[in-house]
Structure 1
């Protein structure tokens, strides 16, 4: 069930909506531990790509943000540099929970190709023609784009 959050700022609302969108497709896994059952928590990574900043967060199914990181974007960086930066951010926010990440959600302005997880065009020149599906291959996790 998606989490409904109303934020005071557009950025906070977008990040929460992204985590909520990702969490709506996640499920907890029941594990038998002797006489008791416990839930293995699933997490999702949300990334908000702007023209000057990239915000990354890891959160729970309930929309609780556990860790967030904000880094500047080099407006003259090439696709390889941006992808390397995103890869580092995903590793940083997920930490030791990388194996429990169910998916990666990325919010970006512009025209998106949802099938290939590519930013086709963006008003931010640093992220034009950016093939984000590579991150899904690298982490073996589904990547969902949203704008």
Structure 2
């Protein structure tokens, strides 16, 4: 009779171990899936930011004359859905001015120095993105 109790007790431990292993395996899989989703969301967000910053640089080329380089700074919303970027523009004569550009709005220019520099830049410029990566924009 005591042997039967020991066997049952041993089988119960095996069942507990299997159940615990399954729980750990499921938690591990859920962690991998969630980590992958977070990573993909971050990649998508960074790609969106890059596209917006590149569009801002293209807009700047069409709005200001004699640009040598443009450094894209902080992104902000002046009102819901209105995306702006602070930018620092260095001109061919090494003059520097700061302004902000509203995404998809080439009509509005802020700042006295920026207004004086209205025009168009036809030559390639260097763009320094907010993540410090550089690219030549033709």
Query: Where on the TM-score scale, by shorter chain, does this alignment land: which range?
Result: under 0.3
TM-score, length of structure 2 as denominator length: 0.27
TM-score, length of structure 1 as denominator length: 0.26
Q: Answer 1 or 2: which has greater strand percent.
A: 1
Larger Rg: 2
Q: Answer 1 or 2: which has greater helix percent.
A: 2
